[in-house]
Structure 1
Amino acid sequence: MKNEKEILYANACFPNYIRVNMKIKLYLTLLFSVAMLAAKAQTADTAKSVKDTVQVFKPVEVPPDFKGGFGKLLKFLSKNLKYPEKAREDNVQGRVIVSFVVERDGTLTGIKVIKSLSAETDAEALRLMAMSPAWNPGIQGGRPVRVQYSIPVSFNLSND
């Protein structure tokens, strides 16, 4: 009973203080809630961006491509390919399949041979892809993503 009288007295004497105090508590509660939601969203975005940097896609909405298109890729390969002398002497001909990841910035990483022809031709195919300029990255959901990609590098001797 005494508490009720004190509350009524406080309300009568300090009505604005109590209202302001309640508003401050409400404001602080809302501010804290918004901060928690923002932290949760930021954590989700961080987790999503970490996933994007780690996850490698294979099929994507827009696949990566060599800047300038397929014709420029063929021109780049033919201009820079140096047929290994030992492979030429041994009449080694065929294709080396090279696999790599086109990163979100278009650079190539994880370059490896998945179908070998000879040690010399494999090394040349790896050298060629390592010196490749940046590609146009693959796109998934409107954002550039890491994409696993493979191409054949052909070694053919002409009859000249």
Structure 2
Amino acid sequence: MINLRYTISLFNLYICLSTIAFSQNIDTVTRNAKSSQKKLQQFEVVGGSDGPYDYVSLEKFPKYNGGTDAMNKFFSKNFHFPVGDEATSGKIIVEALIDQKGKVASAVIQEGISESLDREALRVVKSMPKWEPGVQAGKKIRVKVSIPIKLPLNTN
């Protein structure tokens, strides 16, 4: 009987301590979340700290004028398959830096198919018309975007 009471008392003590520890962890998580939220709300772009930013923390993402359909039409019209390249299908991913004015400031291949197709994809991305730039804290900023180009291109 003593052992059973002792076991129940230890179990109750364990439950109490676990509850206290859990509530302290919840308080810590809540405080950290509030702190992070406060920092995010106070974020301001100043001077030379105009990006590039990742897209997760932006107020407004860069957007190609006309949307995805217009971008696909642009690629279909301007992408020319290099003569002699045997690769005709696949996916090229281009990382482009969209500046504060909406221009493609730079572009690099993240994932390619062949040297000649990759070079053509870079040429077309660099020749794109202006985008709507990304915005953070009410100011236009530079943002890196990934642009997937799936070959063969849809010519519709």
TM-score, normalised via structure 2 length: 0.64
Deviations 1:99-154 (A, max 9, x none): 01110100112211010100011011001011111110011112111101011112
Specify which of 100, 103, 109 is matched with residue 104 of structure 1. Answer: 100
- Is residue 134 from structure 1 mapped to residue 117 from structure 2 by the alignment? no
Q: Is the 8 A contact 1:91 1:157 kept in 2?
A: no
What is the CA distance between 1:66 and its match in structure 2?
A: 0.7
RMSD, aligned CA: 1.8
Unaligned runs of 5+ in 1: 1-46
**SS class of match (1:127):** helix
Q: Which of the pair has more CA radius of gyration? A: 1
Which ranges of 4 or more aligned residues in structure 1 deviate by more than 3 Å?
none
Q: How does 1:17-36 map to 2 (within 5 A)?
A: none
Query: Post-superposition shift, 1:49?
Result: 1.8
**Within 1, Cα distance between the matches of 2:120 and 2:104?**
16
Displacement of 1:91: 4.0
Q: Does 1:93 align with 2:86?
A: no
Q: How far apart, in 1, do the equivalents of 2:101 and 2:148 lie?
A: 23
Residue 92 of structure 1 and its aligned partner are, at CA, apart by 3.4
Q: In the TM superposition, what whole-angstrom CA distance separates every residue of 1:17-60 from its partner, at most 9, and x where no partner exists? A: xxxxxxxxxxxxxxxxxxxxxxxxxxxxxx922212xx211121
- Aligned match of 1:49: 47
1:56·1:145 contact (CA, 8 Å) conserved in 2?
A: yes
Aligned to 2:119: 123
Query: Displacement, 1:82?
Result: 0.6
Which residue type is aligned with residue 118 of structure 2? D
CA deviation profile, 1:78-106 (whole Å, cap 9, x unmatched)? 1111112222xx24310110001110100
Q: 2:67 aligns with which of 55, 58, 69?
A: 69
Percent sequence identity over matched residues? 31
Q: Which amino acid aligns with 2:103?
A: T
What is the aligned length? 108
